[in-house]
């Protein structure tokens, strides 16, 4: 009888479903890291929520582990890479709490608009202050939604029923899809500048941390009100504190924070001192229904995984499912997707994944899924993107995709190309070790290994441009780790692809673009 270890509170219906499937369910709450390492020995499935850290050490000790289940959306407390290496499936419950989170966003929006918490506090303190707490109607106001994922779409639907005008920033939603949703898409600066209210509905990624900062807040209307029930860290709390103190931001309603202590701990945050700030202690998913759905969903996924059946919410996938020819190209396909996604200012209506050479004769569906996964991994979505759900994510955001193939590859044994909209990027594996190489950017032949931090510079094809770029980066303390230069076939322009030791700051990119001869500079991430 397979053993299932549950280390955090799970809905009773979920525990019952596990037991009914014939599994030995052991609930042990509050385990220390050392106790968890000891407890996981001989366990077939481990179910956690957000507090338990499933580290590489835990996975190594769990020699019998088949699956790790996260009863919620994010899996940042699980070492997914280590799990994949050990052949352990990671599953989650990505849609269990989206309705509760969207409703909480609306509750915060209404509370902020009508001063509900402030009026409540005053009345409980014995003060009848009807005139003081005059609010505003939502009808006719503009709501800017940052992130049009599962939660963002639900918020848009609900806010529309109040007669609000909905704009949204999400470069990974195709324009046609935005029109279908009744949402006006725009750049981050555009939607914030028009907004009476801003709802942050993004996932927390390196690209979205601090996205609502001092510069962005300065571009907003005076008196704008901000709601965040997504993730702490998306709003620069120091910048928000200053904007509230100056009156430029008229109010905020926050459910998540940079630093969130454990249950029962004392809290101290300067934002709590503002009378026009509504706060709740991360209650977005705290409904009976969401907790019940998360427990039941994760139990179902674990039961399927232990039975060896298809698991719809698997976050990772075993490389063994790809052929020996295809398997080495999985990291490259995902890296190409990430570079394409971060280079594209907006999502095209369609992308084509082209396979040339020996790959053209193989089953490349898993490489296509890896490419989609890479494209959406830089999008700041409110759910992890996996090989399993990548097609659904693409459909929800209006992205069509297709494969093409050719046995002939003039310059390389194998070549992968991702193209769509204004961009096309190619990659291959080079040498006996199969080292990934990016070999084409937008028609320019280059050769550079993909790196976590890269910069693509387009410039006039004339002397001194390489030195100019190197000098600007050196002045900013940015070290160039690798570099490739390609000339346009038509002549007149050239392209540089640089790998840097750290991300190039926005102000440095802006300085580059201001230099004569520099046509564009785009940070990308592989």
- Give the per-residue pLDDT at 229: 95
User: Would you say residue 423 has pLDDT above 70?
Assistant: yes
Tokens for 44, please give them: 């077939």
- Answer yes or no: 397 catalytic: no
Alpha helices in 115-236 (DSSP H): 116-124, 150-160, 175-180, 188-194, 214-218
Burial class (CB in 10 A: 0-12, 13-18, 19+), 38: exposed
Yes or no: say if 127 and 107 are a contact pair by the CB < 8 Å rule.
no
* CATH homologous superfamily, domain 98-279: NAD(P)-binding Rossmann-like Domain (3.40.50.720)
For the chain, what is the mean pLDDT?
Answer: 90
Closest CA to 390 of 419, 420, 417, 370: 370
Query: In the block, which residue shows the tokens 């630093």?
Result: 259
Please say whether the beta carbons of 206 and 234 come within 8 A. no
What's the CA gap between 110 and 144, in Å, rounded? 15
The reported pLDDT for the residue numbered 322 is 67
Please state, in angstroms and rounded to a whole number, the distance separating the CA atoms of residues 424 and 443.
7
Residue-level pLDDT at 345: 76
Q: Is the pLDDT of residue 311 over 90?
A: no
The whole-number pLDDT of residue 317 equals 67
Q: Which CATH class is domain 3-95+289-306?
A: alpha beta
Q: pLDDT-derived band of residue 236, with 50, 70 and 90 as boundaries?
A: very high
Note the pLDDT tens digit of each residue in 239-266: 999 999 999 999 999 999 998 887 778 8
The pLDDT confidence band at residue 489, using thresholds 50, 70 and 90, is confident
Q: SS3 of 302, please?
A: helix
- End-to-end Cα distance, the chain: 43
CA 17, CA 300: separation in Å to the nearest integer? 7
The CA distance from 476 to 366, in Å, is 41
Instruction: Name the residue ranges covered by the structural domains of the chain.
Output: 3-95+289-306, 98-279, 323-524
Query: Which of left, alpha, beta for 171 (phi over 0: left; psi -120 to 50: alpha)?
Result: alpha
Q: Which of 4, 58, 43, 8 is nearest to 26 (CA)?
A: 4
Q: Does domain 323-524 have CATH number 3.40.50.10470?
A: no
Phi, psi of 2 (to 5 degrees): -60, 140
Q: Annotated catalytic, 124?
A: no
Task: In whole angstroms, give the CA distance from residue 57 to residue 36.
Answer: 10
- Confirm whether 260 is a catalytic residue: yes
pLDDT for residue 262: 72
Domains 98-279 and 323-524 share a fold: no
d(CA 222, CA 200): 18
Which of 3, 114, 248, 282 is catalytic? The answer is: 282
Per-residue pLDDT at 389 exceeds 80: no
Q: What residues contact 448, with CB distance under 8 A and at least 6 apart? A: 437, 438, 454, 482, 483, 484, 497, 498, 499
Confidence class of residue 385 from pLDDT cuts 50, 70 and 90? confident
Percent of the chain residues topping a pLDDT of 70:
98
231, 397, 419, 458: the active-site residue:
231
Its pTM stands at: 0.73
Asked whether 455 and 340 are in contact (CB, 8 A), the reply is no
Secondary structure in 3-state letters for 389-435 = CHHHHHHHCCCEEEEEEECCCCCCCEEEEEEECCEEEEEEEECCCCE
Active-site choice (260, 275, 321, 506) = 260
> Could you identify the residue written with the tokens 């790998």?
499
Calpha distance 338→327 (Å, rounded): 18
Helix (H) or strand (E) holding 466: helix 465-475
Q: Could you tell me where the DSSP H helices lie in 125-187?
A: 150-160, 175-180
> How far is residue 451's CA from residue 346's CA, in Å, rounded to a whole number?
22
């Amino acid at each position: 009888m397979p053993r299932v270890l549950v280390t955090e509170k799970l809905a009773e219906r979920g525990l019952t479903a596990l037991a009914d499937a014939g599994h030995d369910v052991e609930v042990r709450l509050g385990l220390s890291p050392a106790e968890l390492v000891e407890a996981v020995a001989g366990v077939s499935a481990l179910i956690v929520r957000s507090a338990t850290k499933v580290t590489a050490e835990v996975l190594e000790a769990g020699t019998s582990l088949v699956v790790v289940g996260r009863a919620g959306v994010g899996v940042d407390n699980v070492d997914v890479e280590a799990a994949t290496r050990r052949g352990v499936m990671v599953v989650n419950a990505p849609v269990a709490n989206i309705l509760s989170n969207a409703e909480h966003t609306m509750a915060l929006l209404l509370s902020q608009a009508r001063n509900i918490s402030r009026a409540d506090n005053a009345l409980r303190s014995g003060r009848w202050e009807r005139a003081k707490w005059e609010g505003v109607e939502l009808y006719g106001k503009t709501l800017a939604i940052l992130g049009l994922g599962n939660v963002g779409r639900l918020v848009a639907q609900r806010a529309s029923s109040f007669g609000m005008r909905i704009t949204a920033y999400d470069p990974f939603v195709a324009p046609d899809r935005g029109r279908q949703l009744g949402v006006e898409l725009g750049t981050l600066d555009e939607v914030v500048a028009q907004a009476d209210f801003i709802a942050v509905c993004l996932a927390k990624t390196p690209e979205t941390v601090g996205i609502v900062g001092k510069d962005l807040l300065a571009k907003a209307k005076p008196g704008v009100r901000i709601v965040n029930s997504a993730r702490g860290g998306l709003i620069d709390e120091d910048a928000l504190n200053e904007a509230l103190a100056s009156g430029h931001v008229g109010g905020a309603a926050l459910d998540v924070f940079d630093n969130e202590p454990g249950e029962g701990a004392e809290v101290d945050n300067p934002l709590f001192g503002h009378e026009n700030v509504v706060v709740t202690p991360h209650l977005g998913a705290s409904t009976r229904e969401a907790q019940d759905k998360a427990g039941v969903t994760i139990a179902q996924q674990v039961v399927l995984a232990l039975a060896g059946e298809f698991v719809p919410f698997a976050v990772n996938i075993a490389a063994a499912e790809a052929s020996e020819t295809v398997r080495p190209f999985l990291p490259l396909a995902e890296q190409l997707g990430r570079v394409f996604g971060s280079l594209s200012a907006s999502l095209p209506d369609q992308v084509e994944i082209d396979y040339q050479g020996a790959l053209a004769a193989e089953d490349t569906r898993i490489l296509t899924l890896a490419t989609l996964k890479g494209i959406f991994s830089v999008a700041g979505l409110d759910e992890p993107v996996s090989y399993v759900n990548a097609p659904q994510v693409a459909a929800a955001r209006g992205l069509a995709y297709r494969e093409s193939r050719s046995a002939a590859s003039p310059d390389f044994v194998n070549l992968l190309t991702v193209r769509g909209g204004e961009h096309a990027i190619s990659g291959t594996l080079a040498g006996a070790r199969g080292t990934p190489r990016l070999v084409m950017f937008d028609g320019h032949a280059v050769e550079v290994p993909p790196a976590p931090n890269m910069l693509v510079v387009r410039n006039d094809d004339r002397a001194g441009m390489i030195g100019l770029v190197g000098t600007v980066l050196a002045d900013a303390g940015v070290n160039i780790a690798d570099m490739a230069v390609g000339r346009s076939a038509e002549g007149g322009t050239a392209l540089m692809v640089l790998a840097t030791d750290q991300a190039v700051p926005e102000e440095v990119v802006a300085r580059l673009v201001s230099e004569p001869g520099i046509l564009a500079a785009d940070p990308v991430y592989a």
